[in-house]
Amino acid sequence: MADNPNPDLDIPETVTPAEKPKKKGVKRRIFLAGSALLVGGGIFGVWWTDSSAKAKANALIGGAGKQAFGSVMTIAEDDTVTVFSPHIDFGQGSHTALGQMLADELDADWGKVVIEQAPADLAFANAALAKGFLPTMAGETLAGLIPDAVIGMMARSMPLMITGGSSAIRFTGEIAMRRTGAAVRAALIAEAADRLGVPESELTTADSVVTHAKSGKSLRYGELAAGAAERSLSSDPVLKTREQWKLIGKPVPRRDIPAKVDGSAVYGIDFTLPDMRVATIAAAPVRGGTLESVDEAPALAVKGVEKVVKLPDAVIVVAKGYWPATKGLAALSPKFTDGGHGAMSTPAIYAAQDKLRKGGKPDNEAGDGDVDAAFASAGAKTVEAEYRVPFLHHAMMEPFALTGHFKDGTLTIWGGLQDPLSTRARAAKAAGLEMDQVVFNPMIMGGGFGRRFPDIVEIIDQIALLAKQVPYPVKLVWSREEEVRHGSYRPQSSAGLKASLQSGQITGFRMDYAQSGNAEGEVPFIYKIPATSRRHFAYQSNQIDGPWRSVNATQIGFYTESFMDELALAAGEDPYKFRRRHLPEGSRHLKALDEVAKRSGWGTPLPEGVGRGIAIVESFDTIVAEVVEVALKDDGSPKVLKAFAVVDCGTTINPLNAEAQIMGGLIMGLSSAIGEQVTLDKGAVVESNFGDYPILKLADAPPAVDVIFIASGAKTGGIGEPGLPPASPALANALASLTGKRIRTLPILTQAKA
């Protein structure tokens, strides 16, 4: 068992690294890779040089009739511009937005722009992502000293191709797409100037054409591409100003929607190959347990079943179709150990976290000022509260389904995951192969929300091992029950909060929280308070905890914003006005808060039986303030009537899509707060499907959601995740206003029935 960080406390045993894959956050990976690159390994010993990577990318996406510009785009002779996204688009609309950003700077004809998924090759490792995260990890000064070529090698050494952290637009879009578009446009102008024998300053671009107005001559991008591709691209091109944008900020229809509407889109669970077999799996009910024994005969007696494969912690049935595989699996009675985790339960985890927070030592602390002195100050009124949030499942509509085929020494995999390069690396390790012996074909996916990161996805190991044992292509499908009971969950977490008040002002604020994963650096503390402290106490159960939409901002937002309402009540002040006084004058936060109060009619009379709550959270460089109006149904459960969101993400690339993302995040936040939870009993997950893991139904979703964006001109922030964190505290605050009962433990339905 792993070392208990506080051996004097009675904490349920945690798992060893061998039992539980270690999570590697992208920021940590960048920092460690960069350190090794700069200090230990030398800059030319990691995978390839930058020039070699560009040559490989050109070979993969260039060719007859089209010219490649790095790993980002090609221009064909017919003026078609193909943009290659290193991010997976699984419904967040990033492909369209990234295409908009590049095409706008390029002055391309949008009707001739195609956006494709970049190949899962190291040449397409996302250097822009590494460059975007580096300042947070290494500091602005050090990050600014590292050449782009070295950052590219860092990205390939990790390897880095993730989709997550609301990073596609704010990092890849701003750093790679806009700059590449602008640099290629400059190269096209330079090529045209040479061909026409005119100064570059006399040339203009629009709709994939370079024009010389004085002579009336023009050249198409397709005519100029070959020559432009031979030129060196500027690493710091002049970008358009906001007033010059033609596509950025416009509500462009998403390119992925038609295929999803007409049914032509192919997901991993739809994928087929000739002679393909289908398999399904049952893993040890208690994570960390192992397979003791299984009699294969009952499964092999089922018509269509061909093979039973035993893994250290699971059993797989392979058949000619999913139905016989499912019947064969149901016929088995495998015996599993509990791996020593049979005493693990939801109450035991909360109890252990409580002891850890009150008697252990924090592994991280952030804040300013002397909090204890503020609490002890004469005349200070102190308020304390404890909060709890459960494990949460991602509840993807499409369960895992990966297809693998091992042939002629090469393992080929098809499926939807959030990091194609790390998928190749993990599959290679599991199969005992080199990375260049593994091919991964990324596919669209029916939901992700952080669940499909390869370092927490065991099905990659399973399909890699299975494919080497089956002489046909084989698709491994996890049932819904398997996916729910063996997820990578948002951490079960608990927090103790304490604050001091004097003359209605917060003078000291402390939050002690226990969970896996430290939230510092991810969730800024936005309030202006003389003394603050946020202390993290590391706790790990036997479960795999993984990033969940908005990562730690969801629980930290619930704790902080719920407690702010409690402090407002203790101060005898309106929650909105109380927040106002603790936000810096003229700040973006204050403007967002004021705007959501205005739009929601804060302070105006409500109908009888309706409550109103407010919350504001910053995450992923985006500020979101939300107001929720709620009533109670006959069974005491909440019914959200209206929701309002005001968003400052700096620049909104595609308002239509951004609005959809904020709405989706807000509703997902309401759903998780109202009824979702994953619980443990005797070490195993209790829930198994939507029957006992209820997500918000359409009938219970707010019929009206008002979303507005503030164009602050700040740096571009994320959009896929920040709409979620304020939803749960806004709802809890609305219920407290309506009923007088404070919700400190989620989900709400467990409190309504208590």
Q: What is the pLDDT of residue 462?
A: 98
pLDDT tops 70 at residue 413: yes
Dist. CA 116–CA 96, nearest whole Å: 10
Condensed to tens digits (0 to 9), the pLDDT of residues 111-146 reads 999 999 999 999 999 999 999 998 887 788 888 888
Q: What is the pLDDT of residue 582?
A: 98
Greatest C-alpha distance within the chain: 85
Query: 492 — phi, psi (to 5°)?
Result: -70, 135
pLDDT tops 90 at residue 40: no
Q: What is the pLDDT of residue 141?
A: 84
Looking at per-residue pLDDT, the higher value among 5 and 179 belongs to: 179
If asked whether residues 506 and 436 sit together in one domain, one would say no
Final residue of a domain: which of 443, 477, 511? 477
- Pair of tokens at residue 662: 């904020």
Dist. CA 464–CA 413, nearest whole Å: 8
Which of 589, 563, 599, 572 is CA-nearest to residue 707?
A: 599
Query: Is residue 573 a part of any domain in this protein?
Result: yes
If asked whether residues 510 and 543 sit together in one domain, one would say yes
Condensed to tens digits (0 to 9), the pLDDT of residues 440-457 reads 999 999 999 999 999 999
Query: Is residue 12 a part of any domain in this protein?
Result: no
Residue type for position 279: A
pLDDT band at 753 (very low <50, low <70, confident <90, very high): low
Final residue of a domain: which of 194, 229, 260? 260
Q: What is the pLDDT of residue 50?
A: 80
Tokens 């219920």: give the residue. 735
Dist. CA 516–CA 710, nearest whole Å: 34
If asked whether residues 614 and 653 sit together in one domain, one would say yes
If asked whether residues 700 and 590 sit together in one domain, one would say yes
Q: What is the pLDDT of residue 49?
A: 75
Q: What is the mean pLDDT of residues 644-655?
A: 97
Q: What is the pLDDT of residue 11?
A: 35
If asked whether residues 439 and 331 sit together in one domain, one would say yes
Query: Is residue 36 a part of any domain in this protein?
Result: yes
Query: Is residue 265 a part of any domain in this protein?
Result: no
**In the chain, what percentage of residues exceed pLDDT 90?**
88
CATH code where residue 745 lies: 3.30.365.10
Condensed to tens digits (0 to 9), the pLDDT of residues 235-253 reads 999 999 999 999 999 999 9
If asked whether residues 282 and 366 sit together in one domain, one would say no
pLDDT tops 70 at residue 22: no
Tokens 């010219």: give the residue. 67
Condensed to tens digits (0 to 9), the pLDDT of residues 189-232 reads 999 999 999 999 999 999 999 999 999 999 999 999 999 999 99
pLDDT tops 50 at residue 7: no
pLDDT band at 47 (very low <50, low <70, confident <90, very high): very low
Q: What is the DSSP string of 303-318?
A: TTEEEEEEETTEEEEE
Q: What is the pLDDT of residue 751?
A: 82
If asked whether residues 702 and 666 sit together in one domain, one would say yes
pLDDT tops 60 at residue 4: no
Dist. CA 569–CA 581, nearest whole Å: 14
Boundaries of domain holding 216: 26-260
Which of 660, 717, 549 is CA-nearest to residue 256?
A: 660
Condensed to tens digits (0 to 9), the pLDDT of residues 54-96 reads 899 999 999 889 999 999 999 999 999 999 999 999 889 999 9
Contact (CB, 8 A) for 264 and 121: no
If asked whether residues 201 and 228 sit together in one domain, one would say yes
Q: What is the mean pLDDT of the chain?
A: 93
Q: What is the mean pLDDT of residues 721-748?
A: 98
pLDDT tops 50 at residue 41: no
If asked whether residues 665 and 563 sit together in one domain, one would say yes
Q: What is the pLDDT of residue 521?
A: 64
Q: What is the pLDDT of residue 720?
A: 96
Condensed to tens digits (0 to 9), the pLDDT of residues 668-717 reads 999 999 999 999 999 999 999 999 999 999 999 999 899 999 999 999 99
Condensed to tens digits (0 to 9), the pLDDT of residues 316-349 reads 999 999 999 999 999 999 999 999 999 999 999 9
Q: What is the pLDDT of residue 26?
A: 56
pLDDT tops 80 at residue 288: yes
pLDDT tops 70 at residue 293: yes
Query: Is residue 20 a part of any domain in this protein?
Result: no
Q: What is the pLDDT of residue 145?
A: 86
C-alpha pair distances (Å), 293 with each of 183, 298, 566: 62, 14, 54
pLDDT tops 70 at residue 44: no
Q: What is the DSSP string of 328-389?
A: HHHH---EE--TT-TT--HHHHHHHHHHHHHHS--SEEE--S-HHHHHHSTT-EEEEEEEEE
If asked whether residues 456 and 530 sit together in one domain, one would say no
Condensed to tens digits (0 to 9), the pLDDT of residues 377-394 reads 999 999 999 999 999 999
If asked whether residues 404 and 539 sit together in one domain, one would say no
Total tally of structural domains belonging to the chain: 3
Cβ contacts of 444 within 8 Å, gap of 6 or more: 88, 89, 90, 256, 265, 266, 267, 416
Q: What is the mean pLDDT of residues 494-504?
A: 97
| Whole-prediction pTM | 0.93
Final residue of a domain: which of 193, 226, 260? 260
Query: Is residue 11 a part of any domain in this protein?
Result: no
Query: Is residue 141 a part of any domain in this protein?
Result: yes
If asked whether residues 421 and 495 sit together in one domain, one would say no
Looking at per-residue pLDDT, the higher value among 240 and 25 belongs to: 240
Of 149-153, 199-203, 606-610, the poorest mean pLDDT is in 149-153
Query: Is residue 674 a part of any domain in this protein?
Result: yes
